[in-house]
Structure 1
Amino acid sequence: MSDHDDFAFEPIKGLPERPPVGEDILWQGRPATYALARDAYKLHWIAFYFALLLLWRCGVGLAQGGVLMALQIGIPTLVMALIALSLVWLLAFAQARTTVYTLTSARVVMRIGAALPVTFNIPFAQVGAAHLDLRRDGTGTIAMETTGASRIGYLTLWPHLRPGYARLTQPAMRCIPDAAPVAKMLAEAAETRMARPVVSRSEGGSASPVAAA
Structure 2
Amino acid sequence: MSEYDSEPIPGLPEELPQDEYIIWQGSPDWKVMAKTALHIRIALAFVIVFSVITATQTSLSTGLVLLGVGALSIGIFVSYLVLVERTTLYTLTNKRVVLRSGVALNYCLNLPLTRIEAADLKLLGDDFGSIALQLEGTPKIGYFMLWPHATSLSIIRPRPMIRAIAEAPKVARMLFEATSKLQDIAPKTEAETDNVPLKGLPA
The answer to whether 1:55 aligns with 2:52 is yes
Q: Return the alpha-carbon distance in structure 2 between the equivalents of residues 186 and 171 of structure 1.
A: 14
Change (3 A) 1:146 1:51: same
The answer to whether 1:159 aligns with 2:156 is no
Compute the RMSD of aligned alpha carbons: 2.2
Q: Which residue number in structure 2 is paired with residue 107 of structure 1?
A: 96
The answer to whether 1:179 aligns with 2:176 is no
The answer to whether 1:17 aligns with 2:23 is no
SS in 2 for 1:21: coil
Change (3 A) 1:87 1:185: same
**Contact kept in structure 1, 2:97 and 2:111, CA below 8 Å:** yes
Q: Which residue number in structure 2 is paired with residue 66 of structure 1?
A: none
Q: Return the alpha-carbon distance in structure 1 between the equivalents of residues 173 and 72 of structure 2.
A: 40
Opposite residue 107 of structure 1, the aligned amino acid is R
Q: Which residue number in structure 1 is paired with residue 40 of structure 2?
A: 43
Deviations 1:111-156 (A, max 9, x none): 0211111101111111111111111233221111111565432222
Q: Return the alpha-carbon distance in structure 1 between the equivalents of residues 133 and 161 of structure 2.
A: 6
In percent, how many aligned pairs have the same letter?
33
Give, in angstroms, the shift of residue 97 of structure 1: 1.2
Give, in angstroms, the shift of residue 21 of structure 1: 0.9
**Contact kept in structure 2, 1:131 and 1:143, CA below 8 Å:** yes
Q: Which of these residues, 81, 86, 97, is aligned with residue 92 of structure 1?
A: 81
SS in 2 for 1:28: strand
Q: Return the alpha-carbon distance in structure 2 between the equivalents of residues 149 and 33 of structure 1.
A: 28
Q: Which residue number in structure 1 is paired with residue 197 of structure 2?
A: none
Change (3 A) 1:166 1:73: closer
Q: Which moved more, 1:153-162 or 1:6-15?
A: 6-15
Q: Which runs of 5+ in 2 are unaligned?
A: 185-203
In terms of Rg, which structure is larger?
1
Q: Return the alpha-carbon distance in structure 1 between the equivalents of residues 5 and 137 of structure 2.
A: 27
Q: Which residue number in structure 1 is paired with residue 127 of structure 2?
A: 138
Q: Return the alpha-carbon distance in structure 2 between the equivalents of residues 147 and 41 of structure 1.
A: 28
- Normalized against structure 1, the TM-score is what? 0.76
Change (3 A) 1:28 1:44: same
**Contact kept in structure 1, 2:4 and 2:10, CA below 8 Å:** no
Q: Return the alpha-carbon distance in structure 2 between the equivalents of residues 112 and 99 of structure 1.
A: 4
Give, in angstroms, the shift of residue 30 of structure 1: 1.2
